[in-house]
Amino acid sequence: MSAPPFAMTAGTVRRDGRAVLDAVDLEVAPGDVLAVMGPNGAGKSTLVKALLGLVPLAGGRTEIYGVPPGRFRDWRRVGYVPQRLPMGGGVPSTVREVVASGRVARQSRWRPASAADRAAVDRALEAAGLTALARESAHLLSGGQQQRVLIARALAGEPDVFVLDEPTAGVDAGNQAALAATLRDLAGTGRTVVLVAHELGPMEPVVTRTVELEHGRLVRDTSSPADMRESA
């Protein structure tokens, strides 16, 4: 059997001597649409960063498709939408250019963008509702629009697993529903989704599993939000 997208055992992260992630066991199965929930400061962002190897573990271990993050090389399989990314500064890029940068891991260094690359960028722009904004400067967009640009950039790479940190923060209801539909389509093709969320909103019917963090500990793991309501 192939290894799961993420498998963490007793994952612990310390900040200033305090465990902000405390002995978390979590295996994410292929095809899961997993919501990581919990109050502010519970450790949600830290958990997803630790799964990706972006913050070091003080204890325990974690693997991406069976390989510790430090030795993992197949990064095109992984799409990550961080909570916030400063887009200002540097050379201004159009929305399309930022989204196309999501293809870079797939392109050969010697080969320019192919028709397949351009089609993937078109699909990602469309899925994120950005087709009409493709020629705009990304740094001039609103926070919610920039969030959609980051989502489209991850979609353009056509990864097997998507990790999205608060993807709906600052995004209006219509675009939240569109994102939910996109995630459902991805899950339908066997992709795996891990999303950090305060509230599920339109994502609720799409989510297949919810874990809840409190003070860095995993306090609940339910196979669907409906189960969670029953146990509440």
Contact positions vs ligand ATP (CB under 6 A):
15-16, 20, 38, 40-46
C-alpha separations of 36 from 45, 46, 117, 138, 161 in Å? 9, 11, 31, 28, 15
Contact 194, 37 (CB under 8 A): no
Nearest-approach distance from CB 121 to ligand ATP, in angstroms:
30
Q: Which is nearer to ligand ATP, 204 or 214 (CB)?
A: 214
Q: What are phi and psi of 112, to 5 degrees?
A: -70, 170
Complex with ligand ATP: residue 103 or 209, whichever CB lies closer: 209
Residue 107 burial (10 A CB sphere; 0-12, 13-18, 19+): middle
Nearer to ligand ATP, 100 or 146 (CB): 146
> Least CB distance from residue 21 to ligand ATP, whole Å?
8
Q: How far is the CB of 56 from ligand ATP (least distance, A)?
A: 12
* Dihedral over Cα of 81, 52, 13, 224: its sign: positive
- Would you say 11 or 102 has its CB closer to ligand ATP? 11
Q: How far is the CB of 49 from ligand ATP (least distance, A)?
A: 8
How buried is 83 (Cβ within 10 angstroms: 0-12 exposed, 13-18 middle, 19+ buried)?
middle
| Cβ distance to ligand ATP smaller for residue 43 or 129 | 43
Whole-number minimum distance, CB 18 to ligand ATP, in Å?
8
